[in-house]
Every structure is written in C-alpha cells, then in structure tokens.
Amino acid sequence: MRRVVVIGAGAAGTMASIFAATAGAETILLERTRDGGRKILISGGGRCNVLPSQLDESRFVTDSSPNTLRKIVRAWPLAEQIAFFEQEVGIALEEEVESAKLFPASHKARDVRDGLLALATRRGVDLRTDTQVTDIVREGEGWSVHTTTEPPLHADAVIVATGGLSVPNTGSDGTGLRLLTKLGHVIHPTYAALTPITADHSPFAELSGISLEVTLAARDATRSASATGGFLFTHRGYSGPSVLNVSHVVVRSRQETSPPDATVRVRWTAHDDAAWETLLKPQGTRQVSTVVRNEMPERLSAVLLAQARVEPTRLLAELTREERKRLIETLVRGALPWNGDEGYKKAEVTGGGVRLSEIDPRTMQSRLHTGLYLCGEVLDAFGPIGGYNFLWAWATGRAAGTAAGTAVTSASSASS
C-alpha cells in the first residue's frame, strides 16, 4: 500500500487524513502537540462555530486570485459539508439564527475535535502525536519526512496542513510556511488577521466592558473593509466580531506604512444621517442627551457628545445647524482612534501565505512539486468570523486528502 503523510492534526489536516484514508491510502497523521485540534477546542468560546449557515464568497480576503479562491470554496458546497458533519462525523448541528452560525447541538467544541479524530481512526489513519516535523525532502518519486522523534518517514505524497502563526500556544509556529519557502513556494507576506485593535490614551478608555452593535469602516491607501456586528470596549482598546473583521486593514497599514495611514470610522447605531436628523428635530423641552442616550449605552453617549462639542443639557430647539452637523458626523462616521493591535497571540487566523496560483485549485497539489499538497491556513486566504475559516479548512483538507489518496492508490494499482 502506498503512503500519504499529513503534517498537522488541526482542522484541515484531520480532514485531509480522513479523505486520504477513505481513498485507500495508508495514511499517517503527524501532530506536534500531544493531542491536536487545539484551535478547534478554543473556537467559538469553546463551542466551535463549525460552519456559517449562509455563505458569501466575497467576504474572503486574499492577495491571490479571487477566482481561484471561489473555485476552491465551491468544490465542496456548504450543504454537503453540513451533511458530512451530521451523517459521517455524527454531530448534529444547530443554527444560531441571529449570527448565521452553525454550532454542534451539544455546544461543545471537544465533540467536534474528538468526532473528527475518531472518524479518522475508524478510516484507518495512524495518528502520531508529540511529533515535530523538521524537514520535507524529495526522495526519488516520493518524499522523506524528517521528525525529531523517529527515523525519516517515506511518503508517496505529503500534505502540509500545519496552520499559520496565529495563537502560537496551540502549536502554530510557522513550520509549514518555512518548509514551503525552502521548497521554493512564494509566500505572500503574513500578518495577524481577526485580531483585537488597541488604543492607548483613547477617549473611550473608561468604557471597558461596554458592548453594542456597530458598523465599522476601515480604510488605508490601498484597501478597505467594513463590518456590522458586535463591538466591545476592552481595557486595551476594542474587540468583538466587527473589530476583528476589519482589523487586517489596521495590521497591514502598520506593516506597510510609517506612520500607518489606516483610519477606522464607526456608525454607532443602525441610524444613518437622515434618521438622526429626524430624531434631533426640536421636540418641546427635550434635551440632546435624552435622545442620544435612548439609542446607546449612557456612558458612551456622554463621550460622543463631548467629542462633538455639544452640551448634554442643550435643548433640541437650541441646537445650531453646525452643532447638529458635528453631532451627526460623530454618531454616523465617528473616528475610532487606534495605535496598535494584539497580533498573533490573539489573532483568529493568519493572513497571507502561499499564493493560490501555486496550487491546483481542484486538488490542492503544488504546481512546483508532484506529490506535495497544501491546505488550510498555510494558503493565502481567510474569511470573517462566523465559521468561514473552518469551511476553508474543511474544503481544502478534503480536496487535498482525496487527491493525494487517489493519486497514490492509482499509482499502486498501475504498478501491481
């Protein structure tokens, strides 16, 4: 029997091993930690947002071809992925309607991680933990996989599913990216994505713990991103889904320009200019603060009124045209001051990675090396909060595993 070695027992790697074994290949899954799947365990606050309930392909971010990305995502449609988890893994999924997310009905991330590893074992995968891969070397028609724990392993095909650089205490240390660079792959610059934003000496510093729904728009000279969703004031700055989903603009601005040129603006409520114009029309003896306070947390309303230089006790009937204009601008397009980010230690994913033009989008096989397959976070793509990055891991892992397993078993049949 011909052998596939999968490096990394995270989401993409475990999925790849399942499908390589299903295709009939002897499959060895190598994992540097003692258990694997640690990002699965911490995802979704320990509940694991397995998939989005609806998919918008345009929300993925890549410096590679968006068309190539779409081909990869469409190869395993969302409905089929849902069916796989429910029927093959045996995990019922439950929709959180307000967020369009799918969670295991048990709301336990461990059920997802353990369910996938159990399925891999049932399919015949040989999982070897506490095994650090140090090199991948071409050996004739196949590969030699070097580790710190045993003699080099011969492989007819290798699948690199080592993750990126985010949340390093889960085992993501960039090994795969280094190995792929050594093998000649071009790595688009990597950066922390879906990470909280920090702000020293912010006017919002005293609002830690307050949360609300907002719309954010981040922009620099070359890119922009917008997001509507939860927003949280923290001791160090800002977090929540809306912040994480635009943070890559801030992070990349810091990497690429000095000083950084990214701006972040906030619409603090669902109201646009016209809606606020209506709300701020003179109404008897009502004060400005009463109207604004009715639409958001009181402490935040006080800070925003101060930013707009409008006295809270001012009557609506007394507001000047200029004051009303300043206030609406602050409420609809207010500047969100920032000066940093939390980096990889709190990033959900790694942006950048191997450019997608260097893989076959149908098989995930390297265009540089036959028998080398790439999947998951090492590739140049990530999606927003809400199950998109697991969807990417599942789809690319399945494609790589199926193609590698089929290729080596076909070669075995041809030679026998």
Sorted by where each begins, the domain ranges of the chain are 3-192+349-415, 196-341
Lowest-confidence segment of 41-45, 119-123, 324-328, 376-380 by average pLDDT: 41-45
Query: For position 115, what pLDDT does the model report?
Result: 98
> Is the pTM value of this prediction over 0.85?
yes
Domain 3-192+349-415 has CATH 3.40.50.1820: no
> In the numeric block, which tokens belong to residue 393?
């891991």
Query: For position 168, what pLDDT does the model report?
Result: 79
The 10s digit of each residue's pLDDT in 204-238 is: 999 999 999 999 999 999 999 999 999 999 999 99
Query: Quick one: pLDDT band at residue 389, thresholds 50, 70, 90?
Result: very high
Query: For position 7, what pLDDT does the model report?
Result: 98
Between 193 and 1, name the one with better pLDDT: 193
Q: What angle do CA 145, 151, 155 make, to 5 degrees?
A: 35
pLDDT of residue 358 exceeding 60, the answer is yes
Query: For position 1, what pLDDT does the model report?
Result: 67
pLDDT of residue 171 exceeding 80, the answer is no
Query: For position 415, what pLDDT does the model report?
Result: 63
pLDDT of residue 17 exceeding 90, the answer is yes
pLDDT of residue 27 exceeding 60, the answer is yes
> What does CATH list as the number for 196-341?
1.10.8.50
Mean pLDDT computed over 115-130: 98
The answer for residues whose C-beta is within 8 angstroms of residue 156's C-beta and 6 or more apart is 2, 3, 4, 25, 141, 142, 143, 371, 407, 408, 411
> In the numeric block, which tokens belong to residue 227?
């997001």
pLDDT of residue 416 exceeding 60, the answer is no
